[in-house]
Structure 1
Amino acid sequence: MELELAEVNSHGLIEALWDRHTVALYNQHGSFSHSSSSYQAAYDSYYRRQWDTLAGNGDGAHVAMGTPRELDDYVRHLYKMTSMTRREIFDDLERKWGGGSTEEALKNTLKLALSLLFMLKFGLAAGQTEPSRGCLLWTEGSLEGCIREYFDQEPKLETRGVRLPRSFDAWSIQSIAGIEIHFTDNLIDHLKFIEDAESKKILVFHHVSFLECHQSSVFPGGFLDETLRTLAIIFPESEFGSYGCFKSCRTPWLRKLCNKDSACEVDSRLGSCETLRGAERGIENFRFWRDRLVILKQEYDEATPRTLTQFWNDRRNRVV
């Protein structure tokens, strides 16, 4: 069934599931751009792409719901079932929304609903291949337990001598160390370092609005806040923020970086996560993302300038 583009949007989910106080502040003060509704744009784009992939023509798969509004109803229903097991949730879906749908359609429906609710990838749809991207394997236990078990793990890497100076940010990571910054909609892939024969890159989960507004307790305590603080390290507001008519020195560079990534629409609130100073930047203050920060910082420290511009901009080891 052909749907008008306006029919496929996330407005209903945002209104029902996001923190209303934070959304009200967005609407009152605006966000990164001139439009007060711009905080919705990145998640709205994500919603449409997820619908097209799993429910539209994408890979030929189908879901149990005929319209996005029906899907929204199920997502709101699923939001209240996070303590249940996969089997219980699937049986509930089949009983209440099945309506003669195939098992494959029901599985795709659950994947789609989970991806919209938590911005996590739970397995791949038929025909999809993303070898460098992570996904959760949920076969038993509760939904909440699966998510917490994945993220709530003790850091393993040595942190002695690892510092996160203010000069360590997105601009220097890419312009000096030559590590390409790519944006991801999958929270599992945040800060994942990928190296191949041609390049080095780091994936950054950019959905600031989602992190600030998400209300579910399925994530470990402090996890969403720590994720925001990693964005404050990489995209500090003092360097990348925008305050009315005033723009920080790296704001134009950030806009260009966001526009370059055609795979997704980057959240316009990226660069508005404050600026961490002094002891706030200590690696010991990060638990969930500590190991990935350590790996990124080591790659950054060991990178040598390959171009004259990179050499000229490199201030890491200079004595002044």
Structure 2
Amino acid sequence: MAGINIAISQHVLEPYLDCSVQYAILNTIFNKAFVPMDLPEDSKLEPSYIQYYRNQCTAAFTRHKNSLTLIITTHEDILAIIEQLKDLRLTREQIKDHLRSRIAIQPEYREKLICEAIDLGVRLWLMIDVGEIIQTLVPGQRPIKWEQGYLQPLLHATFTPSIEIHERVKLDRIFTIYNLERIAGLHIFWTSNLADHLRLISDNTKVAIFHHASFLEHHRTNNMFPPGFVEETLRTLALLLPSHNKISRKWFQIQQRKFILDSSAADHGDLSTEERQIDNFVFWHDRLVILKQVFDEAEPSTIRQWWCDRRRRVQWYTFWVAATVLALTIFFGVIQSIEGGLQAYKAFNPT
């Protein structure tokens, strides 16, 4: 089997993945030839993706009460489906025909399990939520339905360049994920669904960020994605997680340890002024425009946000000068009140 260099006989429901199985998974997903000695170079890829792989498998098998083992018993079975998905000549129906020969149960239930197995393969290979995944949905998420035909045209149509919002926005350097949280008050939802990247959810109180940069790096030449799509997605990470912004980077490191994020998400440099022009983004254009509008329209509601919000310098200085004058007025007023009280006390108690 292409892409699988070692036997993968470990049962899919075993709680731990052997090291050899992990490398076989990575080699198949990314058409690579990783070996254990590559660990120092590619260690950023392993923790975040392998956790995603395990979570997806657990959710799929739990959803069907482990009956999915009628089709998928070992990790090799999963990777075999992914290899078929890579063949652009195969339609969904042809892949289903191959799987039908492996399961002898009632046709109605068989078809449901086969569809789940194929959709699981797509999710593991491309990190895109496809199929019935109700248990893992987040507010605002729209799973992709692949019911027939070829997979590549569906993905190209899903991620087609689209510019429907023509409002001009300036993607200045203050426009970072860190400032989206501390200034605009948005909650950052770290997603493993590429289709949710930059999506505002929960009544515009959260923004989903796809953090698997290493995954994207290894998929640069994957023609399942439209030309330029992967590169632009990586540039959105460089825009929102600038490498040379020490405060932003330190904040992300805390997030990375807390949520087991792909640490390379903040390793893609800084965009120049020319590169930051909104016209340079065609796949994520509209979501960036909406996100920037939410950021610009957000008003500080806490003292911390007032202190951090330097978007309008004159307003910031005016507010803090007024706040300082008010604080000093109150302070000296309290001092005078205390002094007056002491004087009154002395007047009635001279000794």
Give the TM-score category using the shorter length.
0.7 to 0.9
1:113 aligned partner, one-letter code: G
The alignment of Structure 1 onto Structure 2 pairs a total of residues equal to 296
Asked whether 1:72 is paired with 2:83, we answer no
Task: Give the counterpart of 1:152 among 160, 170, 173.
Answer: 160
Output one character per residue of 1:22-54: Cα deviation in whole Å (capped at 9) or x when no partner. x79x94874xxxxx5232111100000011111
Measure the CA separation in 1 of the matches of 2:45 and 2:135: 32
2:270 aligned partner, one-letter code: T
* TM-superposed deviation, 1:285: 0.2
8 Å Cα contact 1:83-1:143 kept in structure 2: no
Aligned counterpart, 1:139: 147
Measure the CA separation in 2 of the matches of 1:174 and 1:128: 24
8 Å Cα contact 2:191-2:208 kept in structure 1: yes
8 Å Cα contact 1:54-1:62 kept in structure 2: no
Output one character per residue of 1:132-160: Cα deviation in whole Å (capped at 9) or x when no partner. 32211222331101110111142100132
8 Å Cα contact 1:75-1:113 kept in structure 2: yes
CA radius of gyration, larger in:
2
Measure the CA separation in 1 of the matches of 2:176 and 2:31: 29
Percent identical residues: 31
* TM-superposed deviation, 1:185: 0.6
1:44 aligned partner, one-letter code: I
Task: Give the counterpart of 1:237 among 221, 229, 243.
Answer: 243
8 Å Cα contact 2:139-2:201 kept in structure 1: no
8 Å Cα contact 2:72-2:117 kept in structure 1: yes
Unaligned runs of 5+ in 1: 31-35, 240-247
Q: Which has the higher helix share?
A: 2
2:313 aligned partner, one-letter code: R
8 Å Cα contact 1:61-1:105 kept in structure 2: no
**Greater relative contact order (Cα 8 A, min sep 6): structure 1 or 2?**
1
Measure the CA separation in 2 of the matches of 1:106 and 1:41: 29
Asked whether 1:201 is paired with 2:206, we answer yes
* TM-superposed deviation, 1:105: 1.6
* TM-superposed deviation, 1:300: 0.1
Aligned Cα RMSD in Å? 2.6
8 Å Cα contact 1:206-1:266 kept in structure 2: yes
Measure the CA separation in 2 of the matches of 1:75 and 1:133: 24
Measure the CA separation in 2 of the matches of 1:154 and 1:86: 27
Aligned counterpart, 1:172: 179
Measure the CA separation in 2 of the matches of 1:309 and 1:146: 45
Aligned counterpart, 1:245: none
Cα gap change, 1:83 to 1:179, in 2 (>3 Å): farther
Cα gap change, 1:209 to 1:283, in 2 (>3 Å): same
If the length of structure 2 is used for normalisation, what is the TM-score?
0.77
